[in-house]
Amino acid sequence: MNQVHLAGRLPSDPRTIAIAVACVVAALAIPFLTGWVWNRMSPAEPPDERATLRGSAQVLSLKAASGLRQVWGTVELEVHIPGSEPYIKSVYRQFEPEELAAAQPGMTVQVRADPDKPKRFRIDFNQPVM
């Protein structure tokens, strides 16, 4: 049986070892970081069929930035869902021009929340403000 002596085959240059270790760490870290970023960027909105609890939200602030044919912005809302305490939440999302006009500070928008998780809501620009 032949014995393999790895000591003679391993690189002795510390830079080569560092590069090999960095490649292994990157190979392990990239899937984790991709999942973490995906989770952070996924909307906190409930699916349409789950968002059955109606409420309202007052727009406290709006910061919008135009992109290529898109308007993205952060809107800070004071959300009022029946049966729960009002709370403040910032939402980062893409806006249509008419949605942006309806989400100006001081205005009220309709929201639909998940009854099981009332802090997960969707802004419903299709419903009139009550």
Indicate if 108 and 72 belong to the same structural domain.
yes
Residue 94 lies in a domain: yes
d(CA 110, CA 93): 16
Range of the domain at 103: 53-124
CATH of the domain at 76: 2.40.50
C-beta of residue 72 within 8 angstroms of C-beta of residue 94: yes
Indicate if 80 and 19 belong to the same structural domain.
no
The tally of domains found in the chain comes to 2
d(CA 13, CA 29): 24
Looking at residues 46-56, what average pLDDT do you find? 79
- Which region holds residue 22: left if phi is over 0, alpha if psi is between -120 and 50, else beta? alpha
For residues 67 and 115, the model is more confident at: 115
Indicate if 57 and 111 belong to the same structural domain.
yes
Cα–Cα distance list, 51 to 31, 45, 69, 89, 101 (Å): 31, 8, 28, 17, 23
- Tell if the pTM clears 0.75, that is, is over it: no
